[in-house]
Structure 1
Amino acid sequence: MLSAQQNNSFYKIGFLVIAVFLIIYAPACTAEEEPTKAHTVTPLSSPADTKSVPAKPLVPTKIPPAVPTKTVADSWQKYENTTWGVTLRFPSNWISIDPQSFDSPLINLSSPNGFPQVQLYKEIPPTLTTATQLAQRDLITIQDESSTTIISQNQIQVDGASTAYQIQLQATDNNQQIINFCLIYATRGTHAFTLWIKSLADEDIVNNDVIDNIIANFVINHPRPFDDPTANTITLWATSPLTLDPALSGDAGSHRYIQQIFSGLVRLNHNLEVVPDIATWNISNDKTTYTFHLTKEATFHNGRKVTADDFIYSLNRAANPRTGSTTALDFLGDIAGVQQVFNGESEQISGLTKIDAHTLQIRLVAPTPYFLQKMTYPAAFVVDKKTVESSKSPWWLKPMGTGPFQLQKWTANEILVLAKYNDYYGYKANLDKVVFRMYGENPIDMYKQDEIDVVNVGFDMLSIFDSHPNFRQELVQFTKPSTWYIGFDTTKPPFNDPLIRNAFLMAIDRERIIESVFDDRVPLANGLIPPQFLSNDESLLPKIDFNPEKARRIITEKYASPEEFPAIIYTERGYLEPSKLALIVAEEIKRNLNIEIEIKLIPSSQLYWNELKTVKGNLFSYGWLADYPDPQNFLDLLFYTGRENNGGEYSNPFFDSLIDQAATTENRNARNNLYRQAEALLIKDAAFIPIRFDNAYHLVKHHIDCYNPDGLGYIHFNYVRLKESVLNLQKATSCFK
């Protein structure tokens, strides 16, 4: 499947910098303009980027004692956002307006007369910062406005905040009316808040008891997502799933959640062996019929028993073209009748037979040695028909699964909470909750501040082990069965010519890439298939030489001058700047072949593969994480003629015949020999430029136990537990297996 790193939306929490010269011209809120609304925690929308600008150091006029806490009437309303960890109180007759977008304030408040007005903003700065530093940033804008006068600036105390700073100023609006402003900045860990107060000049903002009370009751708390208790819970940073529909999921980022909520007939254990999940099985002598015996203990999260009918419905739904699955044919296509349903020629898969309520028979088109491995993929998971067909909105926003966890709550791009399903048929979860925070500029900083318990450490962050050597004791390192490579568009010049592809392959110093980009922390890939999936000797593959002289000769024989060479566009995922990998590739090609490369970025907020189909350049970066432990998952799905994920549209009849022959070969060694031949042919054809295989690095707090990735790199959270509080003692000494 598409690697999670290809889908990572490194979500940048933007912040609306307080530019007073813009704000003062906005009309004031009045009771007639907006109805009173209950204060709520707001779903996030689209991100915005904010760049910090250095300013002159602030010199506080004085450091006063903490703002005295005034007696707040019982009738005052309380705004509490437990996701962000902030509390504010305000008079009961004030108007509370819900924000309309991500970069809006958390809450807008105004008195019935229109003034004073209060807004509360949140942000997560790119790096750990103080309230004083945030104030410095905004003062640059404020000081540039001739109509603005800074009255005072000083450090203050805000309950729960690690640092706080206050700026008081006056400004003149278009009507020459003088407006008072008070800006209060507060930070806690990676979170930063600005309380913005606006009043008319004839109202003393400092001495106004109402304003004093609002400031005094501005409190920064430890985040408690959805107001849930944090005991027996772990918190992680992760990207938001693109979908929670097993039939539609095709990326590792979505699988992360789907595998906790749903389940199927079989699963992979820690050693990547197929073991029973909901069912055990028997195989016919001719290897074409599988009979699955469903456990009677399996239930959906509403308590209904799982039956053979549920699996027949789920598999038919996945194959139905109306569902729009891009994975069903690849993973279910060995079942008799799936192709016909996928083509719209039939409504029912002919190879599915219900023997009784808890017995399902599946007939294949031909013997397929890796069929059971394919059935561990989400496209084969069971879903609840009533939930799917009765929902007016996408049903997977409130899914009904059968896994060890159920979706408790989810605010898109902000936070997702999984809760233990007590009646799970398998190994019941030790944890009560798993919380995924989907916002944050720097997850490493969140980990340092104990805001999350686990963090993935990217290659660009591995230097953290030099500055924080104690983190090495919290490191969980494992090999992921994934391959990263550069693909060619083989359908048009220049890369429809295998000689030109070979020239580019020889012109790139791949060892330099491993050293410069990945600090020698990942193995150089000399083929397509990760080493843990193919035990045969890799020396059987053609050797890939770095030979720029030979590469230049090939190019000059085909093209008289660089100007005649077609324009080359290299496509990769990214926001603002090309990756170091892309820059080095462009540099190598320019130096060794005198050919310019244009780099085009596909924003990380979009599904890379879907976009790549329409904006693909001559060259494109790609990563593939194994869906199941068989070389077929790489060779067939990525390079067989006409496959959905064959991005370069490579086609070679001899290659296809080798894959077809391997598909029906039972003997594992014989199959591996065929796969090696096919892989060698790809390298000889220069169908791609192999870059690296993968290692993964996670930091895990000491109080977490059994955080063990499986052979595909996924965590089975039902086995994870807290060391000091193992509430579920069943098999307490065993981790995932």
Structure 2
Amino acid sequence: MGKGISRGIAFLAILSMVVLAACGGGNSADKAGTGELAEKQEITLGNIPSEPPGLDPLQAKDSVSGDILAQTMVGLTKMGKNGEAIPGIAEKWDANEDMTKITFHLRDAQWSNGDPVTAEDFEYAWKRMLDPKNGAVYAYQLFYLKNGEKYNKGKAKADDVGVKAVDDKTLEVELEQPTPYFLSLTTFYSLRPVPKKVVEKNKDWASEADSYVCNGPFKVKSWKHDAKIVLEKNDKYYDADKVKLTQINLPFIAEPKTGYQMFQTGDVDSSNSNIVPTDLTKKLLDSGEAKGAPQIATYTVEFNTKKKPFNNKKVRKAFSLAIDRKQIVENVLEGGQEPANGWVPWGMPDFAAGKDFAEVHGKYIEPTAQADEAKKLLEEGLKEEGLEKMPEMTYLYNTDDGHKKIAEALQQMWKENLDVNVKLGNVEWKVFLERKTAGDFDFARFGWLPDYIDPMTFMDVYMTDSGNNDTKFSNKKYDELIKKAKSTADQKVRMKALHDAEDILMDEMPVAPLYWYTRVYMDKDYVKNVYRAIDGSVYYEEAYLTEK
């Protein structure tokens, strides 16, 4: 990157080129100049490694579920090319001056069973997410609603929450305080509606193809658990005329090498990095068979701060300092990733400074290992905990070739730089998430993509009460700073509070960021108009196939 250009601006420029390339030139092959539309508009994707944990927005908390929900469910808004909210089920909205009261006006839309999508479906879905009896991981994303947090904590009634269906087509939302990114948040899958009538009749409505009702461009045709999901065009979708694909096949591909072989033989048409073998990434990128660009996401090690001796920040810091991040990205991954120097990744804007949030604060973490300091801190931390040596600990990761290689590299670094023997444990994705949520781990891999485009989506993860705070980290000052950043629309005040909070997070080190992601993907030449959004989501709503 040229001198004088901020990384954030350069990132957005690259991303714009990727989006334009991914989106093609229009909605038809003739416009795009790419040849005849294929007679059979059926695509097979290699995006899904395993059974999705939940296709009910209430239960979804991961990228696998999110990838499918991107095709089947639409919220009030959708995400535009620069992360902005554009009309979805809401065709327009009005707001007061400080954006604390927003009225959404819904378009004519139907669920896949023919029922109308109503404002009541949104009100019901949001209050269901907040209902403490449901234990939703993402309930905190609706604490922005007036009395949302109080209801979730049993201190207010559902009727007190600031979301109300005035009539079938009008949804009134009242927020606790100005929230500049709230419209962007309404693109996220946790704020998408559910069909109230269906959910009330069948609590397991989202677990089988026959009972699954959705409002997006595609619906679930079949679902063979632990094997494959097949989607088909939803003729009831409000914008169905734009949808050219008639079917999306989603086989669960656990092994990248198997997926890559399927891509080579034409059995897979398009995919994310799930079918890009780690040891082939550089070769595939260099040859152009795979494409890549910076992605707003962070790969990290999470420590269970309730497990001794990881309750001691010196021990956590020691394990972080012992990691050679430069070696991981250059010799293990080779996909253009960047060694992380903080938690908030490249590409996330600082709305006060007008450049990357990560560029403003400078480096929290060096890219190479600091072995001497790491050993010193480990010795001090263990002594404070009354331990003579590091007890046996297991590093947990979900089954994946790339995660395995990273885990093995970390294991070796911790042995060389700390003289500590770490066991490695791997489990399939759904079990991995369950164990993390339950606190059944010592330390583990973790990756975080943005739920919306604001640094807050990374920072509020580690608030004491966050449903995604698997580390169980709790710091009063940190919580106060996050709440301060949520209480004002003044971007200077917000960004300062968030930077101060990251200072605390990187000092306490409940997470040891490893690297910032690149988005690596592969499309056959005949696959057109796939939309890869800035938040990492991939949409096939306007995708199509030309003749091979």
Superposition TM-score tier, normalisation by shorter sequence? 0.7 to 0.9
Q: Is the 8 A contact 1:541 1:676 kept in 2?
A: no
Amino acid paired to 1:283:
A
* 2:310 equivalent in structure 1: 495
Match of 1:282 in 2: 94
Q: Distance in 2 between matches of 1:383 and 1:439?
A: 28
Q: Where do 4+ consecutive residues of structure 1 move more than 6 Å?
A: 465-469, 560-563
Are 1:350 and 2:161 an aligned pair? yes
Contact 1:268 1:274 in 2 (8 A): yes
Amino acid at match of 2:268: I
Q: Report the residue type matching 1:269 in the other structure.
A: G
- For residue 54 of structure 2, what is the aligned residue in structure 1? 243
Look up the match of 1:483. 298
Residues 418 and 652 (structure 1), Cα distance of their counterparts in 2 relative to 1, 3 Å cut: same
Say whether 1:582 aligns with 2:420. no
Secondary structure of the structure 2 residue equivalent to 1:290: strand
Q: Kindly tell me the number of residue pairs found equivalent between the two proteins.
A: 492
Could you tell me whether the CA contact under 8 Å between 1:310 and 1:382 is conserved in 2? yes
Separation in structure 2 between the aligned mates of residue 569 and residue 391 of structure 1, nearest angstrom: 42
Equivalent runs, 1:22-421 vs 2, <5 Å: 231-237=40-46, 238=48, 239-279=50-90, 280-295=92-107, 297-327=108-138, 329-344=139-154, 346-391=157-202, 393-397=204-208, 398-421=211-234
Task: Give the aligned residue type for 2:485.
Answer: A
Pick closer, same or farther for the CA change 1:625–1:390 going to 2, 3 Å: same
5+ residue gaps, structure 2, are 1-37, 350-355
Which of the pair has the greater relative contact order for Cα pairs under 8 Å at 6+ separation? 2
Q: What is the rounded CA distance, in whole Å, between the counterparts of 1:438 and 1:566 in structure 2?
A: 39
**In 2, are the aligned partners of 1:405 and 1:420 still within 8 Å (CA)?**
yes
1:248: Cα distance to partner?
1.4
Identify which of 233, 248, 254 aligns with 1:434.
248
CA contact (8 A) 1:506 1:547 kept: yes
> Is 1:451 the equivalent of 2:275?
no
| Cα displacement (A) at 1:692 | 0.7
The answer to whether the 8 Å contact 1:332/1:374 transfers is no
**Mapped partners of 1:262, 1:460: distance in 2:** 27
Q: CA deviation at 1:360?
A: 1.3
Q: Which residue number in structure 1 is paired with residue 323 of structure 2?
A: 508
Q: Is the aligned partner of 1:538 residue 2:359?
A: yes
Write the distance in 2 (CA, Å) between the matches of 1:466 and 1:511. Answer: 16
Identity %: 27
The whole-number CA distance in structure 2 between the counterparts of 1:574 and 1:500 is: 24
Q: Distance in 2 between matches of 1:553 and 1:468?
A: 42
Task: Output the CA distance in 2 between the equivalents of 1:320 and 1:343.
Answer: 9
- The equivalent of 1:715 in structure 2 is 538
Give, in whole Å, the separation in 2 of the partners of 1:590 and 1:376: 44
Change (3 A) 1:721 1:394: same
In the alignment, what sits opposite 2:457?
633
Q: Which range moved further: 519-528 or 313-322?
A: 313-322
For residue 316 of structure 1, report the CA deviation from its aligned partner: 2.4
Distance 1:454-1:288 versus aligned 2 partners, 3 A rule? same
Name the structure where helix makes up a greater proportion of residues: 2
Letter of the 1:487 partner, please give it.
Answer: E
Partner of 1:564: 388
Report the CA distance shift for 1:576/1:445 in structure 2 as closer, same or farther (over 3 A).
Answer: closer
Structure number with larger C-alpha Rg: 1
Matching residue of 1:422: 235
Q: Which moved more, 1:250-259 or 1:485-494?
A: 485-494
Please report how far the alpha carbon of residue 354 of structure 1 lies from its aligned counterpart in structure 2 after TM superposition: 2.9
- Partners in 2 of 1:468 and 1:536 — Cα distance? 31
Distance in 2 between the 1:524 and 1:416 partners?
35
* SS at structure 2 position matched to 1:258: helix
Deviation string 1:312-336 (CA, Å, 9 cap, x unpaired) is 2222223234444221x22212112
Question: How far did residue 667 of structure 1 move?
Answer: 2.9
Letter in 1 for 2:527: I
TM-score (norm 1): 0.62
Which letter maps to 1:590? K
TM-fit CA distance, 1:636 = 0.8
Shift of 1:349: 4.8
SS of aligned partner of 1:517: helix
The structure-2 alpha-carbon separation of the partners of 1:605 and 1:643, relative to structure 1 and needing over 3 Å to count, comes to closer
Cα distance, 1:342 vs structure 2: 2.9
Name the aligned partner's letter for residue 573 of structure 1.
Answer: Y
For 1:619, the equivalent position in structure 2 comes to: 443
Q: What SS class does the counterpart of residue 250 from structure 1 fall into?
A: coil
**In structure 2, C-alpha distance between the alignment counterparts of 1:262 and 1:530, rounded to whole Å:** 28
In structure 1, what residue type is equivalent to 2:391? Answer: A
* Contact kept? 1:265, 1:276, Cα under 8 Å: yes
Deviations 1:689-718 (A, max 9, x none): 110111122221111111231112222111
Gaps of 5+ in 1: 1-228, 726-737
Counterpart amino acid of residue 400 in structure 1: V
Aligned to 1:5: none
1:36-66, CA deviations, whole angstroms, 9 ceiling, x for partnerless residues? xxxxxxxxxxxxxxxxxxxxxxxxxxxxxxx
Letter in 2 for 1:676: H
CA contact (8 A) 1:541 1:680 kept: no
TM-superposed deviation, 1:409:
2.0
Deviations 1:359-379 (A, max 9, x none): 111112222222222222222
